[in-house]
Amino acid sequence: MLFFIHEFLKSLYQHALLVFDLKTQQWQWDIDKIAALDIADNVVELMAGKISLFSSETQTALKLGACIGSQFDLKTLSLIGQYSQSDTLSHLWAAIEAGLLLPLDDHYKSLETTGDKNSRFKFQHDRIQQAAYSLIPEADKSALHLKIGRLLLANTAERDLEEHVFEIVNQLNSGQALITDDEERITLVRLNLQAGNKAKAGTAIHAAINYFSHGYHVVRCLGMAAVLFRSL
């Protein structure tokens, strides 16, 4: 809560609705104009406005990070953003300095010497993630998730698929409506089955049902349920 209060006050200052009078040595504000702005009622809009002040590269990196989730790692973000890790980190830096992103380790401080260690970040609050995600045009979200899912799948070795199946299938499911190739649909069914079984084994029953339901929906689109399920 203190973070958002701080951001709210900074926003008032940027709008010249909160000023420090050097003569009187006091802060002054216009409560009627502040109320008319209505910026306190929607935290997501407030944070979206802040994000929109960043460079286009930083905005894009935050949007892609928001697509991944409340937490993400630098390698994955670099992959889907099609930039090197050092460039991706530079794009994130303004958001890190502003406190919108919190590093979860110190690996980002020495990318050249950390070897295979991956840098992880999280959005300071879920409202910040929502704000970054809200800046993506609604009409583009499904295609973006599908692109991310395809990139993740293409760059994940078969031996590592079990470990990353949730993050891959979540992206593909979000872009499922745009998949028209039957082979890709069959792959998606198999991934949902794998994710569902993994969730079930971890007693995440609701998540398992969700994955199985997604897979069944794709099967219905294929119109070959019996044949497909036998092949699984």
Given pLDDT bands bounded at 50, 70 and 90, which one contains residue 39?
A: low
Residues 227 and 151 in one domain: yes
Mean pLDDT of 201-220: 88
Mean pLDDT of 145-166: 95
Who has greater pLDDT, 55 or 32?
55
Question: Residue 155: what are its φ and ψ, rounded to 5°?
Answer: -105, 15
Provide the Cα torsion 84, 89, 91, 93; round to 10°.
Answer: -170
Instruction: Identify the CATH number of the domain in which residue 121 sits.
Output: 1.10.10
Give per-residue pLDDT as tens, 162-205: 999 999 999 999 999 999 998 999 999 999 999 999 999 988 89
Residues 227 and 184 in one domain: yes
The reported pLDDT for the residue numbered 192 is 95
| Pairwise CA distance, residues 191 & 186, whole Å | 9
Residue 124 pLDDT greater than 60, yes or no: yes
Who has greater pLDDT, 33 or 82?
82
Domain count within the chain: 3
Residues 57 and 99 in one domain: yes
Residues 149 and 220 in one domain: yes
Given pLDDT bands bounded at 50, 70 and 90, which one contains residue 2?
A: low
Token pair belonging to 46: 């407030």
Residues 185 and 149 in one domain: yes
29 forms beta bridges with 18
Residues 156 and 130 in one domain: no
Residue 44 pLDDT greater than 90, yes or no: no
Residue 70 pLDDT greater than 50, yes or no: yes
CB 226, CB 216: distance < 8 Å: no
DSSP character for 42? -
Helices of type H across 15-42:
31-37
| Pairwise CA distance, residues 21 & 112, whole Å | 48
Residues 156 and 95 in one domain: no
Given pLDDT bands bounded at 50, 70 and 90, which one contains residue 37?
A: low
Instruction: Provide the whole-model pTM.
Output: 0.79
Q: Longest C-alpha distance within the chain, in Å?
A: 82
Mean pLDDT of the chain: 85
Instruction: List the domain range (segments joined by +) for residue 180.
Output: 142-231
The reported pLDDT for the residue numbered 226 is 47
Token pair belonging to 19: 């000023």
Residues 154 and 95 in one domain: no
Residue 136 pLDDT greater than 50, yes or no: yes
Q: How many residues does the chain have?
A: 232
Q: Spell 77-90 as b/e; 16+ CB within 10 A means b.
A: bbbbbebebeebbe
Given pLDDT bands bounded at 50, 70 and 90, which one contains residue 227?
A: very low
Mean pLDDT of 221-228: 58
| Pairwise CA distance, residues 50 & 31, whole Å | 21
Given pLDDT bands bounded at 50, 70 and 90, which one contains residue 109?
A: confident
For residue 103, give the nearest of 71, 130, 133 by alpha carbon. Answer: 71
| Pairwise CA distance, residues 127 & 41, whole Å | 13
Q: For the chain, first and last CA: distance in Å?
A: 49
Given pLDDT bands bounded at 50, 70 and 90, which one contains residue 38?
A: low
The reported pLDDT for the residue numbered 224 is 56
CB 182, CB 218: distance < 8 Å: no
The reported pLDDT for the residue numbered 61 is 97
| Pairwise CA distance, residues 121 & 123, whole Å | 7
